Amino acid sequence: MARYGAVEAGGTKFVCAVGLGPEQIEEQVRIPTTTPTETIALVLDFFQQQIKSSGPLEAIGVGSFGPVGVHADAPQFGYFLETPKPGWQHIEFATVLSRALSAPVGFNTDVNAAALGEGRWGNGQGLDTFIYLTVGTGIGGGAVVNGKLLHGLLHPEMGHILIPHDRSADPFPGSCPFHQDCLEGLASGFAIEQRWQQKAADLPADHPAWALEANYLAAGMVNFILTLSPQRIIVGGGVMGQPQLLPLVRTQVVQKLSGYLKVPQITNNIDTYIVPPKLDNQAGIAGAFVLAQQAAEQR
């Protein structure tokens, strides 16, 4: 049976796996994200060792922090682009893997990959239009629209939309190096830490940070609901691990919509409309396997 490689390239770690799919992983490793030279060398070494011991890979799928070049016919395909990750701008990656490992590579954002994983095995099953959001160190979003990943000029950058920022209520200027107070700049885990001088995980459940966080996340979600009309929003990431946050977000979304969309999914079933990922933190690596399978089919 066909064996695939999968990579979830994150800002703090790269998860690499080999197997038939997410339910049949033969080997998996976590590699700290340091410099591009060091990190990519360790990724290559992992796959080269797996090929040496167990044979070639049919294809490799990569879901990565972005922005990245995702169009196969573009000169920057396989590259990290203007990423906020220091030192990783304009670094070639996916095409390096393809040449070194003699295998086609499917390359997309980590959130698009996670959307694919949730669509195949998780809370996106049976839906043709839905959004996957992650709220962690940064904020990102992937969208499946009419059964396909949404692309255009590049790919969605949902973490960088501009949302209302009442500076009298929240004087924090924002943490995004590009836009300062975009959604990521106001509501990411990094922004929470910068604003309150404490990591999100260390803030108590009744801290005012969570009402503010819910306000910002709900503002972003309302924009996505009104723009893409998703059948469901799946939201994960480390910040969402706070059990009090998701109910606050749901309440704020309903309030901000102000009765404008009278659809039962929102008015009667908001708890099943905005949901955590069924695959939890495995959505990204699962989606990377889907990208690998698609790359093999396209070859």
pLDDT at residue 69, rounded to an integer: 93
Task: Over range 173-188, report the average pLDDT.
Answer: 96
Q: What's the pLDDT tens digit per position in 34-67?
A: 999 999 999 999 999 999 999 999 999 999 998 9
Question: pTM of the prediction?
Answer: 0.91
Res 88 pLDDT > 90: yes
Helix ranges, the chain (H): 36-54, 94-101, 110-121, 183-187, 189-196, 208-228, 245-257, 264-267, 270-273, 283-298
Residue type, 22: P
| 149: three-class secondary structure by DSSP | strand
Q: What's the pLDDT tens digit per position in 105-149?
A: 999 999 999 999 999 999 999 999 999 999 998 999 999 999 999
Cis peptide before 67 (omega within 30 of 0): yes
What value does the mean pLDDT of the chain take? 95
| 45: three-class secondary structure by DSSP | helix
pLDDT at residue 154, rounded to an integer: 81
pLDDT at residue 153, rounded to an integer: 81
Q: Please give the share of the chain, as a percent, with pLDDT higher than 90.
A: 88
Q: What's the pLDDT tens digit per position in 205-259?
A: 999 999 999 999 999 999 999 999 999 999 999 999 999 999 999 999 999 999 9
Length of the chain: 299
Instruction: Please give the Cα distance from 195 to 74 (Å, whole number).
Output: 39
Res 1 pLDDT > 80: no
